[in-house]
Structure formats: structure tokens, C-alpha cells
Amino acid sequence: MRSRGQKWVLSGETRLTDNLACATIYMVNAALNECIEEHRGPLTAAQHPAVGQVACAVSASLALLIQEPTQWRTAALVATARLLEKHIGLSAAAHAAAAAAREYGAGVNSGAHDVEVLRIGHAARSAVEANEVPDTAKAVRLIVQRLASMSTHAPVSASDAAAPAYDLGGATFRSSTT
């Protein structure tokens, strides 16, 4: 983080999760910026859950790297909410983050994770371990590819397009904040 000019928390109770969240945001945000630039448009509603899954994978992998495997969830929640906030608003981003963490956690418990998501986590860990630009670029590229693969979705009506909806365990949440 320091070698990339990013802020680093040196002390405090939340130091570990803050630093995991910062590292996750740094890597996933680089991919979001590249994805938005490549496609010359905002994220689609279909990509929002993918951002959460990627943030969970990166946070979990980095938490394992620092031998703090239980710290991933809080870091992923913070990172996902911060990454999605400018796209869908803070309230919807927080709900999307919680849904992503639940889904990712269920995948951890059942051993049923998407291979692409696991590959992203491994690439992020390798990038941090090596601290080399090509390794970071590889992790970012994998994230961009994942987001691009999620860019298509079913057509929605004009009224639905204005407010993305999120299924949160049986309840649908529609955000009107952007």
C-alpha cells in the first residue's frame, strides 16, 4: 500500500480491517475505472453484485495472507459499500455489500465458489506478495474480465432502469439514490 502511495492505518482497534478494506478498494477500484473506461459507460445493475463478490474474494484472500482469516467480512462490507456508493447510493451499496458477504460466506461454507472469483482472490494475494506492477495489473485485468462478463442483463422498463433492485434474501430493495 505504501509503495503505491495509499494511506495505511498504523494503529487502532480497526487497523487490520481498515487496511484490508483500503487494499481491496485500491485493487477493485482500479478495475472499476478500467472497466468503465473500456465500456464508456457506468456499471450496469448486473455488475453490482459482481463488484461485491470480487471485493469479498480480494478481502478474504488478503486476510489469509496476513493470517487473519476472520477479518475479511468487515473489510469486504466496507470496501463494497465504498466502491458502489458513487454508482447506486450509500444505502443501496450497504445492502448490496451485505448480500454479497452473505453469498460469499455461504460459498465458503459449502465449498461452492465460482472458479473465476477464486482466481481473482489468488491473483490479488500474489500481487500483494510480489508487490510488482505486472502482478497487480494481472489481478486488475481478471477483475475487469469478470465485470465485463456480467455487463449484460435482461432488458428493463424505463421506470425500472432508474432505480436498480436488489434481492436481499426474499425481500426486494429498490434504490432511488444515485
pLDDT at 59: 97
pLDDT at 13: 61
pLDDT at 15: 75
Ordered by start, the domain boundaries in the chain are 2-151+161-174
User: DSSP string of the chain?
Assistant: -GGGT-----SSTTHHHHHHHHHHHHHHHHHHHHHHHHHTSPPPGGGHHHHHHHHHHHHHHHHHHTT-GGGHHHHHHHHHHHHHHHHH-HHHHHHHHHHHHHHHHHHHHHT---HHHHHHHHHHHHHHHHT-HHHHHHHHHHHHHHHHHT-------HHHHTS-EEEETTEEEE----
How many residues would you count in the chain? 178
pLDDT per 10-residue tile (average), the chain, 178 residues: 48 75 94 88 90 97 94 96 95 96 90 88 94 94 93 43 48 45
pTM over 0.85, yes/no? no
| C-alpha count within 13 angstroms, C-beta hemisphere, residue 2 | 3
Nearest to residue 54, comparing CAs of 44, 64, 62? 62
